[in-house]
A and B are shown apart, each in its own frame.
Chain A
Amino acid sequence: ELKVEQNPLFLSMQEGKNYTIYCNYSTTSDRLYWYRQDPGKSLESLFVLLSNGAVKQEGRLMASLDTKARLSTLHITAAVHDLSATYFCAVIQNTGFQKLVFGTGTRLLVSP
């Protein structure tokens, strides 16, 4: 059974600082997603990573994938308050269709 773990669960950081969120998964998968969720809102797709070594960047966020280590990272550069949200990684379970298995989420709080 595919399991997905994220850490940290909670991250409080100051504006301007850098940090990384980690996502480990237990079995091989075709793809990995990062989603953002604002309080009381739904999930917004950020990145999809399809192959070993894949790197995607959007603004201050950069996601990477190491399929051999079964590890993805979401790196935050020079954080700003608008990045405050909960970030989820989700891995496709290879069951013949696209069932997403989600990590526990990382709640990010960026303070001035």
Chain B
Amino acid sequence: GAGVSQSPSNKVTEKGKDVELRCDPISGHTALYWYRQSLGQGLEFLIYFQGNSAPDKSGLPSDRFSAERTGGSVSTLTIQRTQQEDSAVYLCASSFSAGTQYFGPGTRLTVT
């Protein structure tokens, strides 16, 4: 079956611009996660959704970051006023309840 998909695969943006990253989880998966992978920080948790609610936003690096999930399915991660330190690969994962998390291919974000 189809895995987790993310779009765009690559995004280059100018400093100060807003970006939206999209994640389509595996059909039927109730939990959705966003992580960030960068050379300096490794793999970091950002936010978790159970259904449409986000019980834990503690991993979001600043208030420029926000995320939402609609219909218990698609999620968007929005970064406002991007900074160079936001450059990273943003990975989305989904799972059925508390099961194994399956990762998407990621969005490589470059802020110039």
Contact = CB atoms under 8 A, between A and B. Distances in A.
Interface of A: 33, 35, 41-45, 48, 88, 90, 95-102, 104-105
Q: Is the interface of B mostly helix, strand, loop or mixed?
A: strand
Residue among A43, A90, A95, A96 with the highest chain B CB neighbour number at 10 A: A43
B43 A42 contact: no
Interface stretch (B12-20, B68-76, B98-106): B98-106
A36 B106 CA distance: 15
For chain B, which range describes its interface: under 10, 10 to 19, 20 to 34, or 35 or more residues?
A: 20 to 34
Interface of B: 31, 33, 35, 42-45, 48, 50, 55-56, 59, 91, 93, 95, 98, 100-106
Given A42-B106, A99-B59, A100-B35, 10 more contacts: A41-B105, A42-B105, A45-B100, A97-B31, A97-B48, A98-B101, A99-B33, A99-B56, A105-B42, A105-B43
Contacts of B102: 45
18 contacts: A33-B100, A33-B101, A42-B103, A42-B106, A43-B93, A43-B103, A90-B43, A97-B56, A97-B98, A98-B31, A98-B33, A98-B95, A98-B101, A100-B35, A100-B43, A100-B45, A102-B42, A102-B44
Contacts, number: 50
B72 to A, nearest CB: 16
Contacts of A43: 91, 93, 103
A48 B100 CA distance: 8
A95 B42 contact: no
B101 A104 contact: no
A42 B101 contact: no
A95 to B, nearest CB: 7
Contact of A99 (B48, B103, B104, B106): B48
A96 B48 CA distance: 11
